[in-house]
Amino acid sequence: MNTTELRQKDIAGLKTEVKELQKAHFGLRMQKATQQLNNTATLRLARRAIARAKTILVEKQNAATSAK
């Protein structure tokens, strides 16, 4: 998911997206641990997607608190 799609979501949607990405990352880590993961680059992509979503979430939360 790219940043434009993430920025269109509200805070609750971003929180669920982060949780889904973290579950996917956990699954990838388990696959790596059991020698079932062929493409280890997906771990890096998953970590970066989580960071991207968390960054946008914090930006939106800060904007919501400063608007009050």
- Written in H, E and C, the secondary structure of 2-36 is CHHHHHCCCHHHHHHHHHHHHHHHHHHHHHHHCCC
**pTM recorded for the entire structure:** 0.92
Domain ranges of the chain: 3-63
Whether CATH 3.40.1350 fits 3-63 = no
For residue 17, what pLDDT is reported?
97
- List Cα–Cα distances, 48 to 35, 60, 65, in angstroms: 22, 18, 26
For residue 22, what pLDDT is reported?
98
Per-residue pLDDT, averaged over 10-28, amounts to: 97
